[in-house]
Amino acid sequence: MRRLLVTGLTALMLLANVPNGFKDVHAKPLNIPVVYYKLPNGLKVVISEDHIAPVVEVAVYYNVGFRLEPKGRTGFAHLFEHMMFQGSANVKKFDHVKYVEANGGNTNGHTDFDYTNYYQTLPSNRVELGLWLESDRMRSLDISEENLKNQQAVVSEEVRVNVLNQPYQFFEWISLWENAFTNWNNSHNGYGELAEINAATIEDVRSFFKTYYAPNNAVLTIVGDVDVNEVKKMVEKHFANIPSQPAPPRADLTEPPQTKEKRVSQTDKLANLPALATGYHLPPQNSPDFPAMALLVQILQAGDSSRWYQRLVKEKELTLDLSGGLNYFGNEFDYTGPMIMTTRTTYKPGHTADEVIKEMDAVIADITSKGVTEKELADAKVQYRSNFYSQVESSFGKAHLLSALALFRDDPQQINSLLTPFENVTAAQVKAAAAKYLVATNRTVIDRVPEAKPQPKTGQ
């Protein structure tokens, strides 16, 4: 699992609205070239040239994440991601990694709520190698019982190292989602229960591959120091003859509206300090409230100038840290289903979760009554633009955003106009969004406190 920087908007900006004299400064608009088309088998292809460094990203995004894994098989989408490195007709187990690294690149995969991606960064003259490797496993994945068992053991260790042997056990993701959502597709543990990870069979692997890993359920993205016309020919050669499959059934991801606050108390065997996580249901991405809500999240909790950080850590000295965001693993664009705004904070011994919640609520009440300042909103937009540039700085980051826009919106050209809805947000809309969504009945709160521990005997 990999964390992505929260991203946001593009260039151009609302500079005319800014009251403090930045209006003389002209932001340089980014103009990212995008070529987008579909092969007859349904594969979406995105190519973006960029010649600043001799580097290319080759990425494949499949339209399946852990929301769609089968019941009784929690963690399967992620286990399957590991299977994709276990060999295909012409590439032996783990040789995908060998080929990429021995050609000067690096490679990995990641499973998320609504997608699974596979990517390699390579010297740009090795672009065809990346295409061949991705085409071979899309066409002809080849998994043995032995390799499945091996990766079930590896993934079990991944869950132990990142969840079960850790203080807090990822509660701000796994527990929060289990409690905040009612539809199993959204609520279940996407990292997986060990017993269910280990119960998976070769038949499960075959069926999942056939259903979801077809060209018509994927995006292929190439970003970097390449020639579009040459790459198009290579794509044709390696991908055009991979047969398409019937479109996979879309699971029902709808959530009933939450009507009362959920509060959960937990104890932790390993942690030394108490911690708190909150999740508020967000409006869908196509809601007119969404851009205002995204900026409100920024104002509340992005960085140490944010309202909640200032209140909790600096003014009231109640907590040690503050983390979270609009999409726990990604950004505003790389998911499709229902989402919650996540916040996590470690608080100081001697205090209670109620004290922390009271202060968080006081900040919300201030916004719902007085709104945010024009300066705060303008700064939030500048920060968004800066974060956006940081995301598209690397060929991977640019490929990620292009892939998400192709996968979920069928329109990667939007990368050059992503800002527009956000730059138009007004302070009044932010205030209204706070009043509408940041209400107790729309949230889940988990308080996680250390279990009482015996003192170890010491000596020297």
Partner 1 sequence: MKTLLAILLLATVSFAQQKTPPGPGAARPLNLPKITEKKLANGLTVVLAPLPNVPKVSAILTLRSATTASDRDAHPGIAQIAASVANEGTDTRTSKQIKEELRSIGGTLGLGSDADSTTMNASSLSEFSTRLFELMSDVAQHPSFPETEVKLAQENTIQQIRAGRADANFLVNERFQKAVFGNHPYSFVVPDEKSISALTRNDLRAFVTKYYIPNAAHLIVVGDIDVAKTFAEIEKAFSGWKSGIVPPEENPAVPTRDKRQIYFVNRPGSIQSAIYIGNVSIPRKNKDYFAIRTANTIYGGSFYSRLTKNIRETRGYTYSPFSSSNTLAKSGSFVAGAFVRNEVTGPTLLEIFYELDRMRVLPVTDEELNAAKEFSTGNFSIELASQFGLAGRINTIYTYDLDKNFINDFRPKIEGLTTADIQRVAAKYFDTYHAAIVIVGDWEKVKDQVTPFGDVTMYDAEGNVITR
Stretch 337-396 residues interacting with partner 1 (CB under 8 A): 346, 348-349, 375, 378-380, 382-383, 385-387, 389-390, 392-395
Rounded to the nearest whole angstrom, what is the least distance from the CB of residue 283 to partner 1 in the complex? 25
Are 407 and 43 contacting, i.e. CB atoms less than 8 angstroms apart? no
Rounded to the nearest whole angstrom, what is the least distance from the CB of residue 336 to partner 1 in the complex? 26
> Which stretch in 89-97, 184-192, 257-265, 425-433 sits in contact with partner 1 by CB under 8 A?
89-97
| Chosen residue from 2, 5, 19, 102 binding partner 1 by CB under 8 A | 102
Are 245 and 210 contacting, i.e. CB atoms less than 8 angstroms apart? yes
User: Does residue 30 interact with partner 1 by CB under 8 A?
Assistant: yes
Nearest residue to 219 (alpha-carbon basis) of 413, 32, 404: 404
User: Does residue 192 interact with partner 1 by CB under 8 A?
Assistant: no
Rounded to the nearest whole angstrom, what is the least distance from the CB of residue 99 to partner 1 in the complex? 6
User: Does residue 22 interact with partner 1 by CB under 8 A?
Assistant: yes
| Chosen residue from 31, 165, 265, 424 binding partner 1 by CB under 8 A | 165
User: Does residue 164 interact with partner 1 by CB under 8 A?
Assistant: yes
User: Does residue 199 interact with partner 1 by CB under 8 A?
Assistant: no
User: Does residue 257 interact with partner 1 by CB under 8 A?
Assistant: no
Q: How far is it, in rounded angstroms, from Cα 236 to Cα 234?
A: 5
User: Does residue 161 interact with partner 1 by CB under 8 A?
Assistant: yes
Q: How far is it, in rounded angstroms, from Cα 441 to Cα 438?
A: 9
Q: How far is it, in rounded angstroms, from Cα 166 to Cα 164?
A: 6
Total site size for partner 1, rule CB under 8 A: 114
User: Does residue 329 interact with partner 1 by CB under 8 A?
Assistant: no
User: 395-422 burial by CB neighbour count: b if 16+ within 10 A, else e?
Assistant: bbbbbbbbbbbbbbeeebbbbbebbebb
Token representation of residue 231: 């790459």
User: Does residue 12 interact with partner 1 by CB under 8 A?
Assistant: no
Q: How far is it, in rounded angstroms, from Cα 348 to Cα 216?
A: 51
> Which stretch in 46-54, 327-335, 336-344, 433-441 sits in contact with partner 1 by CB under 8 A?
46-54
Nearest residue to 367 (alpha-carbon basis) of 431, 441, 291: 431
Q: How far is it, in rounded angstroms, from Cα 345 to Cα 322?
A: 5
Rounded to the nearest whole angstrom, what is the least distance from the CB of residue 238 to partner 1 in the complex? 7
User: Does residue 115 interact with partner 1 by CB under 8 A?
Assistant: no
Q: Quick one: 34 or 180, whose CB is closer to partner 1?
A: 34
| Chosen residue from 118, 209, 329, 437 binding partner 1 by CB under 8 A | 209
> Which stretch in 61-69, 271-279, 324-332, 361-369 sits in contact with partner 1 by CB under 8 A?
271-279
H or E stretch at 106? strand 106-111
User: Does residue 452 interact with partner 1 by CB under 8 A?
Assistant: no
User: Does residue 140 interact with partner 1 by CB under 8 A?
Assistant: yes
H or E stretch at 174? helix 174-180
Are 438 and 368 contacting, i.e. CB atoms less than 8 angstroms apart? yes
Q: Quick one: 260 or 457, whose CB is closer to partner 1?
A: 457
From residue 306, give the alpha-carbon distance in Å to each of 187, 232, 297. 29, 45, 9
Scan residues 276-295 and list those touching partner 1 (CB under 8 A): none
Q: Quick one: 126 or 232, whose CB is closer to partner 1?
A: 126
| Chosen residue from 5, 202, 365, 428 binding partner 1 by CB under 8 A | 202
Listed in sequence order, the residues at least 6 apart from 119 whose beta carbon sits closer than 8 Å to its beta carbon are: 57, 58, 59, 60, 107, 108, 109, 396, 399
Instruction: Find where tokens 């289903």 sit.
Output: 337
> Which stretch in 233-241, 246-254, 351-359, 409-417 sits in contact with partner 1 by CB under 8 A?
233-241
Instruction: Find where tokens 């809805």 sit.
Output: 421
Nearest residue to 325 (alpha-carbon basis) of 303, 353, 348: 303
Scan residues 309-328 and list those touching partner 1 (CB under 8 A): 310, 313-314, 317, 320-321
User: Does residue 121 interact with partner 1 by CB under 8 A?
Assistant: yes
Give the rounded distance of the alpha carbon of 267 from its chain centre.
28
φ, ψ (nearest 5 deg) of residue 416: -90, 0
CA atoms within 13 A on the CB side of 183: 15
| Chosen residue from 3, 23, 160, 358 binding partner 1 by CB under 8 A | 160
Instruction: Find where tokens 């509408």 sit.
Output: 436
> Which stretch in 119-127, 353-361, 407-415, 424-432 sits in contact with partner 1 by CB under 8 A?
119-127
User: Does residue 1 interact with partner 1 by CB under 8 A?
Assistant: no
User: Does residue 23 interact with partner 1 by CB under 8 A?
Assistant: no
User: Does residue 156 interact with partner 1 by CB under 8 A?
Assistant: yes
Scan residues 404-423 and list those touching partner 1 (CB under 8 A): none
User: Does residue 28 interact with partner 1 by CB under 8 A?
Assistant: yes
Token representation of residue 46: 């995105």
| Chosen residue from 42, 49, 70, 142 binding partner 1 by CB under 8 A | 142
Nearest residue to 275 (alpha-carbon basis) of 215, 320, 310, 226: 320
